[in-house]
Chain A
Amino acid sequence: MSATITVDLEELETQLAGDVSRRFDVYVPVDENGAVVFRRLTTPASGWLKRSVSLTRSVLPANKLLTPQTDPVLRFQGGPTDYEVSDAAASTDLVILGVKPCDARALKLLDKVFADESDIDQVYVERRQKTVLIGVACEKPEPTCFCKAMGVSPWSSDDCDLMIYPMQGLEGLALKCSSDKGQAFLAGMHLTIRELPAETSEEIEAHYRAIPQPLSEFVGHPEALSLDSFELPIWGRISERCLSCGLCTYLCPTCYCFAVVDKSLGERGLRARCWDSCMFPDFLKMAGGHNPRPTKKERVRQRFMHKLCYTHERYGQIFCVGCGRCVEKCPVGLHFVDVLSQLRRELAGGGGDGL
């Protein structure tokens, strides 16, 4: 791990908007009418960097930029006897600035699915290799954040290439390099760099460590579920109020289910990966009508068992990073924290009905 440094904010801003934007697609969080969304940096107004690093978590996780909602697989043209098919999967040199540590951790988890198993998804792997992640330490967690409970440190640079500490009272912007890729990227910008003394570096970490995250304390440290939990009565009880809207899965940084969809217009067409959700009633419905998860009970159970049991069995990890988006956005409050606390009560033999 390298030392914490400071750079000049304006110098960095100029580099990112100038030379870096010519070499990379640079995405940064922006506030659009109260919603934080990642947008390509094109013609930014001065002062954008300071604004970007001070924003709260984005509506959609930053890591979705690597697995977009509609992701072309192939294009074709012609008729049934003379199709011409071309590869439409693409990757680009990408810089994502302003990634929160929870979303960065989510990418580490997705690596297990797409990059560590025997059938590697080369499209994902190549995108991952070509992406520079510039994280930002969390200055103001949302009341719904519980990443600490899920083992994420909201100041940790571990899952990013570079980390920004937008703390007040320092001369310049504090940065830390945490990978070779980050090091090379930083060197390529030729900034004036000032190394901070070790004590200041510790002060910075202490500052972030001290920022309270009350929900994490409530959640504690959840353990993985065993397969026995499949039969618990909780699933039938809690799923009644689910609307099957799928919001929870679309907002979740560790959800990755997709469908493969064809669209054609005359003799031309496109096949694409498109986000899908296990919360939708037809997700598993087969020709002939058989549906192994016919009711909300099986679908809600799938969502929580997948993250708390199946991924743990398969990849050794619980697939939740505590970003709090489902807690904030589920229209009926059927979210991770509620379910975790009910599960805890039920496993302790108590039953129960909510927070």
Chain B
Amino acid sequence: MSETGKNPLLPSVHTIREVRDETDVGDVKTFVVDGSFDYLPGQCAMVSVFGVGECMISITSSPDASARGRYLEFAVKKVGLVTEALHELEPGCKIGIRGPYGNHFPFEQWAGKKLLFIGGGIGLAPLRSLINHCIAHKEEYRYGPIEIVYGARSPGDLCFKDEIMGHWPKCEDTTVHLTVDRGDENWKGHVGFVPQFVEEIAPSPSDCVAITCGPPIMIKLVLETLRKLGFEDDQVITTLELKMQCGIGKCGRCNVGSKYVCKDGPVFSLAQLKQLPAEF
């Protein structure tokens, strides 16, 4: 027996630099880990706790920030075995990371366009990488105005508060619309579900690309709203989430028709999704 030396499932070991609580109830944490690699917004990585397992997580840091600070950021919602084990970890602990995997948001194709980002809950994680990238390269790609619609169940569930309430609204030509399903005594903003909120804001589809990420039910209703507003299928970009094991199109887990979400996705236009069997 000899080692092959090119094992595609072998992660590199990274040290956690910082852990940030994103939500009041503590179900979402952002992990900042030492070390980086080249990737593009929308790409993911397999993050693992040794002895527990792996899970696919979007890289939420923007490529520019990662390269500068030599770190990667992952925002992880606690939902099961691996994500729970991750939540137990503190700065200094080591985790496995392999990637980047999947395709990326086609931001190179949006020159001259208005950008409309629609996110719900932890679904802002992949969008955050993209939004920060688009803001940083706004001049270069000659993007038009940027609008961000983001919602969560309650004010305490809104993620990335520094950006949604601090940094982004201050950026040139950038508007942020926040909403929550249920307000509280301190919440002065909009109350209501994301899809209805988008309908109220009624963005014009002309020269606009809409990019949406969130829980499946939100995505479904947002797609419906966008259609009503006059968006064509190729103007709408979203991501698919399917169970994954390998991340490289080999384990046969994440196919929808002949596409592997881990390799040919997770980013698809609505036009592309309509070519696939409805099994996701």
Q: Which A residues lie at the B interface, using CB under 8 A?
A: 73-74, 76, 80-83, 85, 87, 89-92, 113-114, 117, 119-123, 126, 227, 230, 256-264, 269, 271, 273, 276, 278, 283-288, 290, 292-293, 298, 302, 305-306, 309-311, 313-314
Q: Are A80 and B10 in contact (CB under 8 A)?
A: no
Q: Are B258 and A309 in contact (CB under 8 A)?
A: yes
Q: Are A287 and B80 in contact (CB under 8 A)?
A: yes
Q: Are B252 and A258 in contact (CB under 8 A)?
A: yes
Q: Are B253 and A257 in contact (CB under 8 A)?
A: yes
Q: Check B167 for interface membership: any CB of A closer than 8 A.
A: no
Task: State whether A91 and B257 are in contact (beta carbons under 8 Å apart), knowing that A258-B246, A264-B50, A286-B241 are contacts in the complex.
Answer: no
Stretch at the interface among B86-94, B136-144, B171-179, B183-191: B86-94
* Given A90-B4, A121-B8, 13 additional A-B pairs, CB 8 A: A89-B7, A91-B1, A92-B2, A117-B249, A121-B250, A123-B4, A123-B7, A260-B53, A262-B48, A283-B253, A298-B279, A309-B257, A311-B258
Which residues from B are CB-within-8-Å of A113? 249-250
Q: Are B50 and A85 in contact (CB under 8 A)?
A: yes
Report B1-44 residues with CB < 8 Å from chain A CB. 1-11, 13
Q: State the 5 A-B residue pairs at the shortest beta-carbon distance, nearest first.
A: A264-B51, A122-B6, A257-B252, A287-B79, A313-B258
Q: Are A271 and B50 in contact (CB under 8 A)?
A: yes
Which residues from A are CB-within-8-Å of B280? 292
Q: Are B255 and A310 in contact (CB under 8 A)?
A: yes
Cβ contacts B261-280/A at 8 Å (1 or 0 each): 00100000000000001011
Which residues from A are CB-within-8-Å of B13? 83, 85
Task: State whether A260 and B246 are in contact (beta carbons under 8 Å apart), knowing that A227-B257, A306-B255, A310-B257 are contacts in the complex.
Answer: yes
Q: Are A122 and B7 in contact (CB under 8 A)?
A: yes
Task: State whether A89 and B249 are in contact (beta carbons under 8 Å apart), knowing that A285-B243, A286-B243, A288-B79 are contacts in the complex.
Answer: no
Which residues from B are CB-within-8-Å of A273? 9, 251
6 inter-chain pairs at a CB distance below 8 angstroms, sorted by A residue, are A81-B93, A119-B248, A119-B249, A126-B6, A260-B245, A264-B51
Cβ contacts B50-90/A at 8 Å (1 or 0 each): 11111000000000000000000000000110010000010
Q: Are A81 and B216 in contact (CB under 8 A)?
A: no
Q: Check B169 for interface membership: any CB of A closer than 8 A.
A: no
Q: Check B242 for interface membership: any CB of A closer than 8 A.
A: yes
Which residues from A are CB-within-8-Å of B48? 262, 271
Inter-chain CA distance A261–B89, complex, in Å, is 20
Q: Check B192 for interface membership: any CB of A closer than 8 A.
A: no
Which residues from B are CB-within-8-Å of A313? 257-258
What is the number of residues of chain B that contact chain A, defined by CB distance less than 8 Å? 45
Inter-chain CA distance A286–B280, complex, in Å, is 11
Which residues from A are CB-within-8-Å of B89? 80
Inter-chain CA distance A286–B215, complex, in Å, is 13
Task: State whether A126 and B263 are in contact (beta carbons under 8 Å apart), knowing that A85-B96, A298-B279 are contacts in the complex.
Answer: no
Query: What secondary structure prevails in chain B residues at the interface with A?
Result: loop
* Closest Cβ–Cβ distance, residue A247 to chain B (whole Å): 17
Which residues from B are CB-within-8-Å of A82? 94
Which residues from A are CB-within-8-Å of B255? 306, 310
* Closest Cβ–Cβ distance, residue A273 to chain B (whole Å): 7
Q: Which residue of B lies closest to A265 (CB)?
A: B51
Inter-chain CA distance A91–B7, complex, in Å, is 11
Q: Are A260 and B251 in contact (CB under 8 A)?
A: yes
* Closest Cβ–Cβ distance, residue B280 to chain A (whole Å): 5
Which residues from A are CB-within-8-Å of B1? 90-92
Q: Are B258 and A284 in contact (CB under 8 A)?
A: no
Which residues from B are CB-within-8-Å of A73? 7, 9-10
Inter-chain CA distance A285–B253, complex, in Å, is 11
Q: Are A87 and B79 in contact (CB under 8 A)?
A: no
Inter-chain CA distance A293–B32, complex, in Å, is 35
Inter-chain CA distance A264–B83, complex, in Å, is 17
Q: Which residue of A lies closest to B257 (CB)?
A: A310
Which residues from A are CB-within-8-Å of B79? 287-288
User: Which of B4, B5, B242, B258 is close to A314, meaning CB atoms less than 8 Å apart?
Assistant: B258
Task: State whether A87 and B7 are in contact (beta carbons under 8 Å apart), knowing that A119-B250, A278-B252 are contacts in the complex.
Answer: yes
Q: Are A89 and B245 in contact (CB under 8 A)?
A: no
* Closest Cβ–Cβ distance, residue B51 to chain A (whole Å): 3
Q: Are A76 and B258 in contact (CB under 8 A)?
A: no
Q: Which residue of A lies closest to B276 (CB)?
A: A227
Inter-chain CA distance A306–B253, complex, in Å, is 11
* Closest Cβ–Cβ distance, residue B83 to chain A (whole Å): 7
Inter-chain CA distance A1–B53, complex, in Å, is 48
Inter-chain CA distance A305–B279, complex, in Å, is 12
Q: Are B92 and A81 in contact (CB under 8 A)?
A: yes
Q: Most chain-A CB neighbours within 10 Å: which of B80, B243, B252, B253?
A: B252
Which residues from B are CB-within-8-Å of A257? 251-253
Which residues from A are CB-within-8-Å of B54? 260, 262
Inter-chain CA distance A74–B243, complex, in Å, is 22
Inter-chain CA distance A306–B89, complex, in Å, is 39
Q: Which residue of B lies closest to A311 (CB)?
A: B258
Inter-chain CA distance A269–B53, complex, in Å, is 11
